[in-house]
Chain A
Amino acid sequence: MSLRIFVPIDSSALSVGAESVAQAILAEAERLGVAIELVRNGSRGLFWLEPLVEVETPAGRISYGPVKPSDVPDLFASGFLNGRPHRLGHGLTEHIPYFAGQERLTFSRVGIGDPLCLEAYRANGGFGGLERALALSPAELVQEVTDSGLRGRGGAAFPTGVKWRTVLEAEAPHKYVVCNADEGDSGTFSDRMLMEGDPFCLIEGMTIAALAVGATQGYIYSRSEYPHAFRTLQCAIAKARDAGLLGPDVLGSGHAFELEVRMGAGAYICGEETSMLESLEGKRGLVRFKPPLPAISGLFGMPTVINNVMSLASVPIILSKGASFYRDYGVGRSHGTLPFQLAGNIRHGGLVEKAFGLTLGELLYDYGGGSASGRPIRAVQVGGPLGAYVPESRFDVPLDYEAFSQMGAMIGHGGIVAFDDRVDMARMARYAMEFCVIESCGKCTPCRIGSQRGVEVIDRIIANQERAKNLALLDSLCDTMIKGSLCAMGGMAPYPVLSAVKHFPEDFGIGQSARAA
């Protein structure tokens, strides 16, 4: 049997040279006349080590990284094919503390094998959830997901089972399952990693959702910024259809479920669920008024389940291992695990799937290893561009939906962006408003005009023009946006702004302005 070597095909790994490393390994093996099997896996999520090359040995998979093409001859010469030590070596991948400390449920298969190999998917526990789901009634399926405590992983944290029940009970000629894969938040990449690294898991989760609510058509709405994920999904869907997992008769059950991946067109707002529906219908991504809820009147006016990639990809393991297995992870009303994403100025950036309840500090220092620059971490933004900035004094708050909401922050999609002590928080506040100007759908005034005025007011504060007056005006403007906007875009863009002012007043000249006045 030839030796198996793994080089990720994940787009982050490719972005730092994984493809040329793979080519160098093939070339060197040929030059030496060694038979190897090169497997292109997803990423393990230890991105500071990418390109991470793994070699299969009797003891397990040994990892080396970050590998450059020029390191490859030396790796061969020092016996990496037998897992021998090397200056780039990290021993058994699963013993690397960053990896060993995780609780990988949703990401149990990502990084293990070829993402598009159905046999590998099945061999690693794939389709166990779907097989069990086919033996349950829709009501039992919905109950199982409700009992698991799963809440929407896109950010809103709405109980998934409750949403499914509403769609199940709605009567209509057609129902839809829509996967929100429009992962636009800066600092997040878990959806992308899963779509590229374990696409059948998402397909399985969507098929289970379709069985639960009686839907026959599904759409995955992904991003044009994710070309690799799009191609991987298209290929996975075609393979699943060929294998009878999708189509008019899913696994011989008599249930039909068709699935299609659609590409967005660079509009952040289309991650908002009603804007996404408009976009899928071929219209401008204008947010809809609610009610009616999409669960009652969604895509093309039909009852529609809309879930995030992470929510849907958590469903197979909930079904295969049972609701209580999943529910027992976590704290309070935050059950299960969340794949956190460490990004920005962080030494060990990557994906950390853990049960809810650990603290930001543990993530930033125990996993993240502090800042990449070696300077103190001054602020972190949690939950994307609409999430609050959290100062170091709050790094001990547990990552739990309720604890975060109590301090005026949100966990959102689990993205954590670290900034060192060189960050200018007034500029970050200005950026938050500027982003809202660029990405507002324009339907409601508080968001469309409020964000524009927000940029101008912050500019005046930075320029020290009537600072106290403009700070009061900014406060009032934020209040209007929060209370008067139609959706979370305008309704939450003030959070990074207000948290920046509150926790980092010195960056806005507060204190100075009192003296000046």
Chain B
Amino acid sequence: MSTASSIDLDAIQGIVREKASLPGALLPILHAIQGRTGWVPEEAVPLIADALNLSRAEVQGVLDFYHDFRREPPGRHIVQICRAESCQAMGAQALETHVKSSLAVDFHQTTADGSISLEPVYCLGNCACSPAIRIDDEVFGRVDSNRFDTLVDRLRAEEVSA
């Protein structure tokens, strides 16, 4: 896990340099940094601003505007629960209640063991298999409380064996 003390500024500088010439480069740069580090550290902001000839405020504004970009290190896994209408019609609210109590966190929080960050999401495009959740880059459909517990148990078992 990346922490504030182990930020690889050289890697971030490399990403910025590589992508700075793209038209409208800011989102691709932020995605690439987050893809590598898991979040976008504060120290990246002036580097990006310099390379794109923007003010720090402009870069910070974009970072804050989009729900995806994280300004703090997340847990080792991101779990997203869909809150949108189709999933609600199939019991997403009950699932959400179960998830929050079983992980003992609310949305935008990370479990005490640093394993899972819980986030809401508004539609994963899996609406014919509602309720849907996403764990890291994998989407799961027809998720009820039991299936959720199985998926989380598997995630934790993989962490132990890894």
Contact = CB atoms under 8 A, between A and B. Distances in A.
B65 A225 contact: no
A417 interface: yes
A121 interface: no
22 contacts: A12-B129, A14-B139, A15-B138, A47-B129, A183-B125, A186-B86, A189-B126, A225-B123, A263-B28, A265-B30, A265-B67, A266-B67, A266-B121, A267-B65, A268-B122, A281-B23, A282-B62, A283-B26, A284-B61, A344-B86, A385-B85, A415-B127
A419 interface: yes
Interface stretch (B1-9, B87-95, B109-117, B153-161): B87-95
B69 interface: yes
A192 interface: yes
B50 to A, nearest CB: 15
Interface of chain A: mostly helix, strand, loop or mixed: mixed
Nearest to B123: A186
A397 B134 CA distance: 36
B77 interface: no
A485 B141 CA distance: 36
A186 B127 contact: yes
B127 A349 contact: yes
Nearest to A191: B125
Given A11-B139, A283-B26, A372-B90, 6 more contacts: A12-B128, A263-B28, A284-B61, A285-B66, A344-B127, A349-B128
Interface residues of A, number: 61
Nearest to A439: B122
Interface in B102-160: 121-130, 132, 134, 137-142
B139 A15 contact: yes
Interface in B5-29: 23-28
B52 interface: yes
A268 B85 CA distance: 14
Contacts of A267: 65-67
Contacts of A16: 129, 140-142
A345 interface: yes
Interface in A219-244: 223-228
B84 A341 contact: no
Interface of A: 11-12, 14-16, 47-48, 50, 183-189, 191-192, 223-228, 262-268, 279-285, 300, 341-346, 349-351, 372, 381, 385, 415, 417-420, 423, 428, 431, 435, 438-439
B42 interface: no
Contacts of B66: 264-267, 284-285
Contacts of B122: 184, 186, 268, 385, 435, 438-439
A344 B87 CA distance: 6
A389 to B, nearest CB: 10
B31 interface: yes
B123 to A, nearest CB: 5
Contacts of B129: 12, 15-16, 47, 50, 349
B125 A188 contact: yes
B85 A431 contact: yes
Nearest to B90: A345
Contacts of B88: 428, 431
Contacts of B28: 262-263
A14 B137 CA distance: 12
Contact of B130 (A279, A344, A420, A438): A344
Given A285-B65, A341-B128, A428-B85, A185 B123 contact: yes
Most chain-A CB neighbours within 10 Å: which of B24, B67, B89?
A: B89
A16 B88 CA distance: 18
Given A15-B139, A15-B141, A267-B66, A417 B23 contact: no
B68 interface: yes
B42 to A, nearest CB: 18
A186 B84 contact: yes
Contacts of A263: 27-28, 31
B24 A343 contact: no
Nearest to B31: A263
Q: Which of B24, B88, B125, B130 counts the most A-chain CB atoms under 10 A from its CB?
A: B125
Q: Which 6 pairs between the two chains have the least Cβ-Cβ distance?
A: A349-B128, A282-B26, A186-B84, A343-B127, A265-B66, A344-B89
**Which interface residue of B62, B67, B127 has the most chain A CB atoms within 10 A?**
B127
A48 B128 contact: yes
Given A186-B85, A267-B66, A343-B130, A262 B125 contact: no
Given A281-B24, A283-B62, A227 B84 contact: no
A273 to B, nearest CB: 15
Nearest to B133: A15
A33 B117 CA distance: 45
B126 A282 contact: no
Interface string B48-75: 0000100000100110011111000000
